[in-house]
Structures are given as structure tokens and as C-alpha cells.
Amino acid sequence: VQILAEYFQVQIVVVDTVSGCSTIFGEALNFPSRMVLIYDGIHYDALYYSAPDGTTQTVHPTSDSSILEKAKVTAEEAKAAHNYTDTGGFTLKCLVCGFRMKGETEAQKHAKTTSHTNFSEV
């Protein structure tokens, strides 16, 4: 993410849905703009503002700290709605043999020993 912040010359704030922690990339470079990403355990989704005229805004001035509070609230709402993936604790089922396992580590072990790579979250 740091590389993207430097390349696009924008501060990127990542808010983790589960922990609520924020990590700021490009903060020391004093970019005039920032964007916020919400991390759900697997994916990063851009936080955006929908204006009444139908336009959307994903890049905000770094002087506007209200976007950080909105990001925190969005992450809290996502956590309360269980809109995240716990890669260490989720239960998976192998769609090839039906074996059930817990977490990414067990899935990787099963894939390595069986060559099965088709899983579904239970």
C-alpha cells in the first residue's frame, strides 16, 4: 500500500474492520490528498462519498479529518454486521472430498497434501 501511496502521491488510510485500527501510508510525505480503504480480512474497499448530484468522491483533502471518523464508523458497522472474514477462524469445506477444516492454515495444508483447491466457507 505504501508503494501505491507514493506512486499516486496520495495518503492512504487503511482501517481494519475487525480491530478498528488505522494504518496511514504516505503520512510522512505530506500529500495534500487522502483516500481511505476498509480492510475486511481479505479485500480492500475504497470508502467513498456520494454527493446529492450523483457524483462519488474517493479522494479527500488531508485537511478534512471528518473522513477518518466516517471510516471508523463504517468499520464498526461492518464489524457489527459481521461483514468481514476471519481467515484464521473461519470454517471451510473442501468441495472435492467434503473434508471440513478451520482457518487458512488448515486449508493450505489440505491443499498441499491432496491437491484439492476448491473450498467453500461454511
pLDDT surpasses 90 at 45: yes
Residue tagged 472430498 (cell numbers): 97
Q: Among 18-27, 48-57, 88-97, name the most confident range.
A: 18-27
Evaluated on CA atoms 111, 115, 116, 118, the torsion sign reads positive
pLDDT band at 23 (very low <50, low <70, confident <90, very high): very high
Q: What is the pTM of this model?
A: 0.73
Q: Rounded to whole angstroms, how far apart are CA atoms 20 and 76? A: 7
